[in-house]
């Protein structure tokens, strides 16, 4: 359940990164989830590196930082700094552009090469509002997720379908993963918080 003004537990801050081809809707999803509004149709200034929000997971109120690249994914791999300290990731493709789905495997390889083995990854088919233009079937994406051991969901940043649910599932997965790695998960969460705090001074 999402909260408007909760006070997060001091020990819990999760960095969640968004990755995938340019134009699949990473900043639109980040903005929709964190602010409740979609991006305007006009030209925007350089988008923020990340936006913070709190959410409730089990009995904890957790602060999360949602990160999205600022266009550099058009030119090649994202720098290691972008991945550092990530506890979870949304791997995006556009359901109307088959090439972005094919390229998801490349982005997944980069994710796993630059992050901790325990990172929680969710495959996300964005732009589900454009069903008439669908190029990637739900079944094919489900098979990809099963093959690579990720969760899967389809979303729409335009009408907000499943946006909150995607982050809720990812946040729950991260928290449950932490509990499995320690008696309470607190030590691991504190480490994540320390890693992310180091990055607040700048971005990739």
The whole-model pTM stands at 0.83
Residue 182: count other Cβ atoms within 10 Å of its Cβ. Answer: 11
SS3 at position 104: helix
- Cα–Cα distance for residue pair 124/152, rounded to 1 Å: 6
- Superfamily (CATH H level) for 13-36+48-199: P-loop containing nucleotide triphosphate hydrolases (3.40.50.300)
Confidence of residue 74 (pLDDT cuts 50, 70, 90): confident
Confidence of residue 60 (pLDDT cuts 50, 70, 90): confident
User: Is the model's pLDDT at 62 over the cut of 80?
Assistant: yes
Across 40-62, average pLDDT:
73
CB 155 within 8 A of CB 48: no
Confidence of residue 184 (pLDDT cuts 50, 70, 90): very low
Structural tokens at position 4: 């408007």
Of 145, 132, 141, which is closest to residue 98 (Cα–Cα)?
A: 141
Q: Which of 1-10, 35-44, 48-57, 93-102 has the highest mean pLDDT?
A: 93-102
CB 83 within 8 A of CB 67: no
Cα–Cα distances (Å) from 42 to 27, 39, 67, in that order, read 14, 8, 22
Residue 120: count other Cβ atoms within 10 Å of its Cβ. Answer: 23
- Cα–Cα distance for residue pair 56/72, rounded to 1 Å: 32
Confidence of residue 43 (pLDDT cuts 50, 70, 90): very low
The beta strands (E) that lie in 76-202 are given as 86-94, 120-126, 151-154
User: Is the model's pLDDT at 138 over the cut of 50?
Assistant: yes
Q: In residues, how long is the chain?
A: 204
Confidence of residue 72 (pLDDT cuts 50, 70, 90): confident
pLDDT in tens, 22-32: 999 999 999 99
């Amino acid at each position: 359940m999402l909260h408007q003004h909760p006070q997060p537990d001091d020990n819990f801050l999760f960095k969640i990164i968004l990755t995938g081809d340019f134009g699949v809707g990473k900043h639109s999803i980040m903005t929709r989830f964190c602010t409740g509004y979609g991006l305007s149709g006009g030209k925007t200034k350089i988008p923020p590196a990340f936006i913070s929000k709190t959410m409730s997971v089990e009995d904890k109120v957790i602060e999360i930082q949602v990160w999205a690249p600022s266009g550099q994914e058009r030119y090649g791999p994202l720098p290691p700094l972008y991945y550092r300290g990530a506890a979870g990731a949304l791997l995006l493709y556009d359901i109307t552009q088959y090439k972005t789905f094919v390229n998801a495997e490349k982005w997944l390889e980069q994710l796993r090469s630059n992050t901790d083995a325990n990172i929680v990854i969710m495959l996300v088919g964005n732009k589900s509002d454009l069903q008439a233009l669908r190029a990637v079937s739900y079944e094919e994406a489900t098979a990809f997720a099963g093959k690579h051991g990720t969760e899967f969901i389809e979303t729409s940043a335009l009408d907000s379908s499943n946006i909150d649910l995607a982050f809720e599932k990812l946040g729950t997965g991260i928290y449950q993963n932490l509990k499995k790695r320690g008696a309470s998960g607190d030590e691991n969460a504190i480490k994540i918080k320390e890693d992310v705090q180091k990055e607040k001074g700048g971005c990739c």
